[in-house]
Every structure is written in structure tokens, then in C-alpha cells.
Structure 1
Amino acid sequence: MATISLPANVSVMLLDIEGTTTPITFVKDILFSYIKEHIEDYLSTHWEEDECKQDVQLLKKQTEQDIREHRACPVHSPDQTVHTDEEKAIREVVDNVLWQMAADRKTTALKQLQGHMWRTAYTSGKIKGEVYQDVVPAIRRWRQQGLKVYIYSSGSVEAQKLLFGYSVEGDLLELFDGHFDTNMGLKVESKSYQRIAERIGCPPEDILFLTDVTREAKAAVEVGMNVVVVVRPGNAELAEEERSHYSLISSFSQLQATGSA
């Protein structure tokens, strides 16, 4: 894949995380596995704390919305074991979280709880955020060239800050001008990118979005953003039509500002 020159008007880099700055295997094999293995213990330990209560309340509201919209929800079969009300409530939350994860849902309620669980894992040193080796040098170069750098991920803002704040390369948060999550909207919806441009305070045409998902790329293009699709090991295979339609890179080092060597 050839080097790509940034459009001269681009002043903002907007980066996806999974499959773009960070291996998909880290998200699926490390982060998601941690949730599945520790969700019940975490809820039991923190059940009476305000933060946990807020997370559970948000999940309940999401379930109520799912029911109103006739979306499938976990079915609770009769359990012969005698549980306390708290144990039963925790079990229902666990079932809901695992069901949402199996369905690869991006609800704010799910992402908020996951972010709080990952905070425990990161701060205790059980997990360190992974980034591709080409990411940090490229971002430092972009910033030296006067570009602003933002993150847009379906993971909560808190989860994003944990990944980069407790990374294998140390605290990287100073490299970013801001973070966006599903509070802006789903990543496959064009209006989400319009909101982000408005929040940053520049026209979409001045932003370059890097993602590994062509549905996200399409949504960003629809509002006028520039897009480059990132091809990394383990990412979903692109169809020939997608490969010919989008500019592709396999490393951030292939992106050069206009006039740079």
C-alpha cells in the first residue's frame, strides 16, 4: 500500500480504536474475556455502591426500551436453587450483560458498566492497553504538524482513557484533544459524525476519519468527512469493491501531511 498525502484542508484526525489503533484480539481476547470472567464477582462486590447502582439502573432502562421495541431479551428459565433477592437480581444483570455482549451490542448502558470494570483491571495492573507500534510515532508527528487528534469509539470515553492512560507505552492521554463515544450516536449513523464535527467546532471536510469498518467509513463520508480505511492483521476482509472504493493503509506511517517528507 502506497503513502497517502493528507488533504491540505485537514486539521483534525479522528481515530477509531478496535482494529485501527489497537488489535482486535486485545479487545476480544483480553477486555471482553475479563468482563465475562469477572462480571458476577464484580457486581456482588460493588452491588451497594452508588456507581454500581447507577450502572444497573441504566441497564434496566435499556431492557425496558428493548421490550417496548420488541427486541429479544434473555429468557429466565425456572431456577430450582433458592436465591436471595440480591442474588437473583445480580444473576439477571449478568445474563443481560452476557446476552448483549454475545449480540455485539453497543448500548451506552453496557459500555458504561464495562468501563467501570476495566478501570479496576487497569488500575490494579491486571490489564495494559495495547497499541500498534506505528500509532504513537505517527500521532506525535501529526501533532507537531499542528493537527488535532480525537478518538471516536463505541467503548465509553472512560474505557478509552483507561486503554491509553494505562498502555504498554505508558500514559498516552496527552496525545489526544478529546474523546467521543456512543453518546454521539452509533458509529454507522451519519448524524453521529455531524455531531462530532459540531462539537469539535470545524466543518466535516476538515476531518480525516481512520477506521477499519467500511459501514462507519460510509457514514462519515455521507456528511463530508475524509476517510481512510485501516487494514490490520485480524481485521475483517474487505470485498474487492470496498478495496477499490476507499483509500487503504496498513500503518499510520503511510499518512503524510502535505509538504512533509
Structure 2
Amino acid sequence: MYFPNTRNQDPMRISWIVLDIEGTTSSTESVRTGLYAYARPRLGPWIDAHRDDPEVAAAVRETGGATTAETVAILHGWMDGDVKATPLKTLQGRIWAAGFAGGELTAHFFADVPPALRAWHAEGRRLAVFSSGSVSSQRPWFAHSPDGDLSTLIERNFDTVNAGPKREPASYRRIAAALETPPGDVLFLSDVPAELDAAAAAGWRVTGVRRPGEPNEHARFGAHPVVASFEEIV
């Protein structure tokens, strides 16, 4: 495994590669436009149809809305502001999972991603995901790729519920502990410099992903190595 713009790196030490999704493996538009547009009109009906579901009931309580209409208004406000609120992520994840299962949704991946994931897996690198999207939405996303089921390559999934905020070093320490792996043996790929900063502060190896046309294409990655494609890492 090649580490761009770095020196004295031992690629054999990398046992886990942890992936961000939005802007890294998949386009931001496919998530914010495709998935958000699918979930938005379905939030109210989903809440009303699943009030006896403990996870849904807990998410609704956490919004603070007194009625379905109030709850949906709060959720829509969070969506409009791109707020990474756990109740929103929980409900969206459940709706998306049903959409994927019903064949109404298909995930998007940059063309270089599926071959790289398969190559890394074949080399014996273990793969995990850390995304602000809920674990319940991550799994069907990778399972319903146009390039086939990629979920079989992903061993662990982490989100802001089971790991913590993506811009806090403590979250990456929790993940390394859960993976039972020294921090220096984990590589994190993300398009968000602040996330890379947090992972590096926790002792991880990091590489920025600068995708053409993505919101963070022109972001400042500082001293972190940067690639435009996973092909530069393989």
C-alpha cells in the first residue's frame, strides 16, 4: 500500500482501513439530494406507522415535538441545516433501509472505490466505516451498490451514536479500542480536514480525499497526505 506525500510509513502495519462515505466513497449529491429527498416526505407517515417501535418512539421523543407535524418540522429544519442530529439519522436510516430493500433506492460509489475495496480486502486489510449516517443506513448503502454487494467487505460500522462526534479525537480512540487494534495500525480516509485532524490526534494514520466537484475539493488539508482517487493509494 502506497502512502502519497509521506515518508517512513510502513504499509504492512495497516491492518484496518476506516472509510468516510459522503464525499469520500460516494458523491455528496447522491446523499444530500437523493437520500434526503427520498426521506423528507416519508418522515411523517413513517413515524405514524411505527409508533410502537421502541427505536422510532425514542427518536421522536428526542426531537421534542409534541405532535407528528411538530416533529416533522423539527426534522426538516435539521435536514435543511445539515444538522447531524441522532434522532434524524435514526429515522432517516430506517426509511432508507426500507427503500433499498424495496428496490426504490440504489447507492452511488465513485468508480475507483469498488475495485480498491476488493483489492484491499484481498490483501488482508480489514475494512470499516465511520460516517455521520446511522449504521442502519450504512449497511444497505454498501449492499446495494451498482457494482454489486460491497457490504460483505465491510466488517465493522460506526456512527455518531456508537463512536461519537467525527471531529473529536475521543471518537477515534473508541473505534480503535473496539477494533482491538493499535491506533497507528489504522488508516482513515475522509474528505473533511477536521475529521482527519481528530483521527491524527488519536494516533491514527490519515489520508485526505479531494474529489473533483465535491464541496471539499478546495479544502486545506494541511500536512495530511491527499489523494484524488483511491487508485493513488492502491
Does the TM-score normalized on the shorter chain lie above 0.5?
A: yes
Match of 1:81 in 2: none
Match of 1:16 in 2: 20
Q: For residue 178 of structure 1, what is the aligned residue in structure 2? A: 156
Query: Higher Cα Rg: structure 1 or 2?
Result: 1
Counterpart amino acid of residue 200 in structure 1: L
* 8 A Cα contact 2:3 2:225, kept in partner: no
Aligned to 1:238: 218
Q: Deviations over 1:181-219 (max 9, x none)?
A: 112101011100000000000111110100000010100
CA deviation after TM superposition for structure 1 residue 138, in Å: 0.6
What's 1:60 paired with?
Answer: 61
Cα RMSD for the two superposed structures: 2.0
Higher relative contact order (CA 8 A, sep 6+): 1
- TM-aligned CA deviation for residue 38 of structure 1: 2.2
- Identify which of 139, 145, 150 aligns with 1:161: 139
Give the length in aligned residue pairs: 227
TM-superposed CA distance for 1:59, in Å, is 3.3
Contact persistence 1:107–1:182 (CA under 8 A): no
Partner of 2:10: 7
Residue from 120, 124, 145 that aligns with 2:98: 120
Residues 1:247 and 2:225 aligned together: yes
Q: Do the aligned partners of residues 56 and 93 (structure 1) sit closer, same or farther apart at CA in structure 2, a change above 3 Å counting? A: farther
2:67 aligns to what SS in structure 1?
helix
Q: Distance in 1 between matches of 2:55 and 2:185?
A: 38
In the TM superposition, residue 135 of structure 1 has moved relative to its aligned partner by 0.7
Q: How far does the alpha carbon of each residue in 1:61-113 deviate from its partner, in whole angstroms, 9 at most, with x for none?
A: 353xxxxxxxxxx8xxxxxxxxxxxxx71101111111121222222221111
TM-score (norm 2): 0.90
Whether contact under 8 Å (2:169, 2:202) holds in the other structure is yes
| Alpha-carbon distance in 2 for matches of 1:178, 1:243 | 26
Say if 1:220 and 1:60 are closer, same or farther in 2 by CA, change over 3 A.
same
How far residue 57 of structure 1 moved from its aligned partner, in angstroms, is: 2.6
The equivalences for 1:180-199 within 5 A come to 180-183=158-161, 184-199=163-178
Q: Do the aligned partners of 1:56 and 1:93 also contact (CA within 8 Å) in 2?
A: no
Secondary structure in 1 matching 2:109:
coil
Unaligned runs of 5+ in 2: none
What letter is aligned with 2:215?
N
Aligned-partner SS, 1:209: strand
2:231 aligned with 1:227: no
Say if 1:3 and 1:227 are closer, same or farther in 2 by CA, change over 3 A.
closer
